[in-house]
Structure formats: C-alpha cells, structure tokens
Amino acid sequence: MIKNPKKPIGAAYVRVSTNDQTELSPAAQLREIKNAASADGVPIPDEYIFIEEKGISGRRADNRKEFQRMISIAKTNPSPFQYLYLWKFSRFARNQEESMFYKSVLRKKCGITIKSVSEPIMEGMFGRLIESIIEWFDEYYSINLSGEVTRGMTEKALRNGYQAAPCLGYRAVGEGKPFIIEEKEYEAVVFIHQSFFNGMDLASIAKEANNHGYCTKRGNSFDRRAVERILKNKFYDGTVTWNNISFQGSHEIRKEVTSVFKANQQRLKQEYRPRNRREVSACRHWASGLLICGYCGASLGYHAGSKTGHQSGYFQCWRYTKGLHKESCCISDKKAESLIIKSLQHVTAAAGTSEYTKRAVSDQYLEKQQLESALEKLRARKIKIKTAYENGIDDLEEYRAGKERLKKTETELKIRIKSIESSKNAMDSHNRDASLCRISSACDILTDQSVSSEAKGRALRSVVKKIIYDKKSGEMKFIYYIHLP
C-alpha cells in the first residue's frame, strides 16, 4: 500500500497490438490496472485514462496520439498525476531507445512513478536492471515479429490471397478475399485506357481526366506519371502481384479495359524513350533552370527540337507538360535568347558602362548569402517550436526558453547582415560599376558563338537569379542578383 499524505493521483495507459493474440483486451487491461491502483490506494480519474486505438504499433511513439497526449499532460508543471500504470512495459514502447527516453522524462522531469501491473519489479538499481532486460526482450520480440509478419504475408500471397493496397477502381473487403470494384473510381480507369488506345498522349489524358473531375486513389490531380502507372498496372488485366509474387486473380475485370490492355502495353513499349543521362552541372540550354512560368511559378523545361518533332527547341512549363494545369507557357529558344540578350544590353546601355574588369565574388557577398539562409532556417524553427507548444508537446517554460534562444541568434545574424550591408554601402561607386560590368561581360559571352553552352549558362547565372515569362504579354521580368540603379 502506497502511503502519501497528498493522496497521489494515478493515470493508465492502454494499448493493444493486433499481432499479439494472447494479450488482454483494452477493457481487461484497464480493469487489472484499476485493481492494482486501488490496492495501492491510488485513484485513477477518467480524464487520465489513455487508450490507443486498436492495432496502433508500439515501434514509434510519434504515431500514438494518446501516448503523446499523456506525455503532454504529464509535463504540466506540476504534473496532475504522480503514478502511471501499464499492463506491461511493452505497452509503453517496443523501441528501447524511445522507452528509455520517455521513461526518463516522466521519472526525472515530471516525478512520475511507472508501474507494470503484470511485471512487478523491485525498487532500486536491480529493479531497473530487470526492467532493462524486459525492454531488450520486447524490442527483440518486435523485430522478430516483423520477420514473422513478412513470412506470413508471403505465404498468403503464395495461396492467392489479396493483401496489397487496392489500386484505383477497387476496394478491399478483408480476409484476403478478392477486391471489388468501386464504380465511380473505375470510370477513371476506363477513361484512361480507352483514351490511350484511341491515340491520346499521357499529358492530354491527364488534363482531360482532371477536367472530368477524376482523381487519383489519394484524391490528387492526375499527371503523366499517374496515368502511366494505371496503364501499366496488370491488376486491371487480372494479374495480382505482391513482392515479386504473381498469380491470376479472381477479382472482377471488365472488357472496357482488358480488350485494350495488351495493345496499350505495346504502344507504351514503342513510345518508351530512355532518359538521356547527363551530369547535373551540364546545361541542355544556357537558360535552363532560370525561366519561370508566369501562370504557376514552375520552371520551364527545355525540349530539343530534333527530339520532339519541332523545327527548333523550346521551353515549356513542366506542370503543363505533366497535365497539372491548362495554360500553356511555351516560348521558342530563339525568342527566349533574343529577349534575354536584349535585356542585358538594355541594362548595360542604361548604366553607361561598357568596360569589364574580371572580379571574383566577394567573401562578404557569400557570407551574407549564408547568413540570410541561416535566418530563413531560424524562422522555420520558430514555427516548429510554436507548433510544439500549441500541440502540448512543450510547456510554456520550454517554449519561452526556446523562443528567447532563437531570438538571440536571430538578433546576432541581423546585426552581422547589417554590418555587411553598411560596409558595402560605404564602398565607392567602383564596386557598383564592376557589378554592372559583370552583366556587360555576360552579354558579350552570350553573343559569342564560339563559347560553349555550359560557359554561357554559368555567365548568365552569375548575374540573373530568375526570369519570369508572361505568355500573355510576351514579356520577361528579370530578377538580378544586384540592385540596379
């Protein structure tokens, strides 16, 4: 019997794994926990009973909502309960690293005593040693169970059991039984296979599917890749595949798809073109990666004319190419080159500079970029600690401490950035002219036919951050790295 003049309060944490057929049900676990707590003279209020949904894995704590809610409440200063009762230590966690971490938080930081009803252990270092041994066995059981589950699933597949996640157009019924058709979803499958058989390309099918209101299995819009996956999925032709094990399924298949399935596979093989592998630093065109779609902000990918049937190369929004939006944002490479060179020439002419002095990028400029990048990461961290506080993971004291620490670092970064900017503004106008000269030099490199595409790309990227192309007006907006006068 626990003797405490302050009448300590207890809490109960209950979790049941679907893989362990021998353990007690949640109600039975809770009953045993309450009996043990009652014998200790510790009441357990209903608000401090934490029961996970059935089948939640103990391998990762962040997947268990009730566990996280329990930790959050326990970290309230002071903790509203002083004892935590479990049916088994394995209910707490099957991962020893997480188990040790959270137990340490509860015991040392929150002053909570953790008790296993079915595995009573003595106090002191010998009791902790026994508890650690139990945790080692629990983790071993979890790892071994994973292998047993995989073997069981393999045996199920060999016996023609259905167990993979159902694809678009089908719904699982459980117990390894054949999937059944979802009529609304299957309409999209029929549309895709029939459209491809009738000559439409993948991007056009994706656009039309989105226009019809069809969605992928996850509720997303279609793109070329999603359409291609459906066309290649042998499940629609009756073949079930799991982990390289295939068998002829007994699920329902329909002629609208099966009658064109083989023909579609043949067309896919004929139109397959392996991607040309190239070094990451290589430029397909010297403006590649800089042009931005004025409609959606995506990059304009470059397509060589000889490989696409066009007389010349062109840039096109990759989202449009994949069928993710309707508006085309296409521009020929010749027109793009002309507009880019004209912009550079206009800038240098307006600045009244034609000479160029080769200068390396200053260390201060690079340092400022690094500091600004660190500042962006700091803002993201501020959002994270605020979210942790709002979700109850951190208490107010922890949130304040983290906020003050980030604020101090942010102030130091801003002071250093301001110092660099002040130093830059204090320089004479020669540095600004030198920056403008870099633009003039880049323009000279772009108009030199003897210079390679890679060299032209490096020259343009040294002065231009991005170029936004407005298809409607036919104009380009240039974002330079330097502030132009």
Residues 99 and 40 in one domain: yes
* The pLDDT of residue 351 is above 80: no
Q: Is residue 252 in some structural domain?
A: yes
* The pLDDT of residue 170 is above 90: yes
Q: Is residue 85 in some structural domain?
A: yes
d(CA 129, CA 45): 31
pLDDT at 361 (0 to 100): 43
Residues 139 and 178 in one domain: no
Tens digits of residue pLDDT in 85-132: 988 776 676 565 676 777 778 887 888 888 888 877 656 565 555 556
d(CA 72, CA 396): 11
Residues 177 and 132 in one domain: no
pLDDT at 106 (0 to 100): 84
pLDDT at 152 (0 to 100): 64
Portion of the chain with pLDDT greater than 90, in percent? 19
Out of 46-60, 168-182, 305-319, give the one with best mean pLDDT: 168-182
CA nearest to 89, candidates 49, 128, 39: 128
Sequential DSSP letters for 215-276: --TTSPPP-HHHHHHHHH-GGGGTEEEETTEEEE--S---HHHHHHHHHHHHHHHHH-----
End-to-end CA distance of the chain: 82
Residues 62 and 99 in one domain: yes
Residues 133 and 67 in one domain: yes
CA nearest to 190, candidates 142, 99, 254: 254
Residues 72 and 200 in one domain: no
Residues 174 and 136 in one domain: no
Residues 132 and 187 in one domain: no
Tens digits of residue pLDDT in 43-58: 999 999 998 877 565 4
CA nearest to 294, candidates 273, 264, 317, 311: 317
Count CB atoms within 10 A of the CB of residue 458: 15
Give per-residue burial for 243-271: e unless 16+ CB within 10 Å, then b.
eeeeeebebebeeebeebbeebeeeeeee
CA nearest to 88, candidates 13, 35, 142: 13
Q: Is residue 348 in some structural domain?
A: no
Residues 176 and 140 in one domain: no
d(CA 407, CA 411): 6
Q: State the residue for tokens 């002191």.
A: 124
Mean local confidence (pLDDT), 384-412: 78
Count CB atoms within 10 A of the CB of residue 73: 17
* Residue 255: CATH number of its domain: 3.90.1750.20
For the chain, give the mean pLDDT. Answer: 78
Q: Is residue 23 in some structural domain?
A: yes
Q: Is residue 378 in some structural domain?
A: no
Who has greater pLDDT, 187 or 447? 187
pLDDT at 147 (0 to 100): 57
Tokens of 323: 């069928």
Who has greater pLDDT, 155 or 441? 441
Q: Are 323 and 204 in contact (CB under 8 A)?
A: yes
Tell me the Cα Rg of the chain: 32
Backbone φ and ψ for 180, nearest 5 degrees, come out as: -115, 160
Task: Provide the annotated active-site residues.
Answer: 17
Tens digits of residue pLDDT in 52-88: 877 565 456 666 788 888 888 888 878 899 999 988 7
Who has greater pLDDT, 306 or 466? 466
Q: Is residue 389 in some structural domain?
A: no
If DSSP codes are grouped into helix, strand and coil, which group holds residue 396? helix
pLDDT at 382 (0 to 100): 83
Last residue of a domain, one of 146, 179, 198: 146
Q: Is residue 66 in some structural domain?
A: yes
Residues 211 and 123 in one domain: no
pLDDT at 235 (0 to 100): 92
Tens digits of residue pLDDT in 276-302: 444 444 557 888 888 999 888 888 988
Residues 109 and 182 in one domain: no
pTM, entire model? 0.42
pLDDT at 277 (0 to 100): 43
Last residue of a domain, one of 114, 146, 178: 146
Tens digits of residue pLDDT in 352-380: 433 333 334 455 666 777 777 788 778 87
d(CA 97, CA 109): 17
Q: Is residue 119 in some structural domain?
A: yes
If DSSP codes are grouped into helix, strand and coil, which group holds residue 340? helix
Mean local confidence (pLDDT), 225-252: 88
d(CA 229, CA 202): 11
Residues 141 and 174 in one domain: no
d(CA 434, CA 335): 29
Strand runs labelled E in 326-390 = 331-332
Among 137-151, 165-179, 332-346, 415-429, the minimum mean pLDDT is found in 137-151
What's the number of domains the chain is made of? 2
d(CA 116, CA 98): 17
Q: Counting beta carbons within 10 angstroms of the beta carbon of residue 384, is it exposed (0 to 12), middle (13 to 18) or buried (19 or more)? A: exposed
Q: State the residue for tokens 């094990």.
A: 245
Locate all alpha helices (DSSP H) within 427-482, ordered by sequence.
430-446, 453-461
480 strand-pairing partners: 464
d(CA 397, CA 389): 10
Q: State the residue for tokens 């980030």.
A: 406
Count CB atoms within 10 A of the CB of residue 238: 16
* Residue 89: CATH number of its domain: 3.40.50.1390
Last residue of a domain, one of 215, 241, 271: 271
Please enumerate, as own/partner, the contacts of 427-434 that have beta carbons within 8 Å and a separation of 24 or more: 432/482, 432/485, 433/351, 433/353, 434/357, 434/359
List of residues 6+ apart from 309 with CB closer than 8 A: none
Give the angle 274-280-284 at the CA atoms, nearest 5°.
70
* The pLDDT of residue 32 is above 80: yes
CA nearest to 246, candidates 178, 157, 171: 157
pLDDT at 260 (0 to 100): 93
Domain, as residue range, for 46: 10-146
292 strand-pairing partners: 299, 468
Mean local confidence (pLDDT), 129-148: 56
Mean local confidence (pLDDT), 18-46: 81
DSSP state of 80: S
Q: Counting beta carbons within 10 angstroms of the beta carbon of residue 323, is it exposed (0 to 12), middle (13 to 18) or buried (19 or more)? A: buried
Who has greater pLDDT, 470 or 419? 470
d(CA 202, CA 28): 56
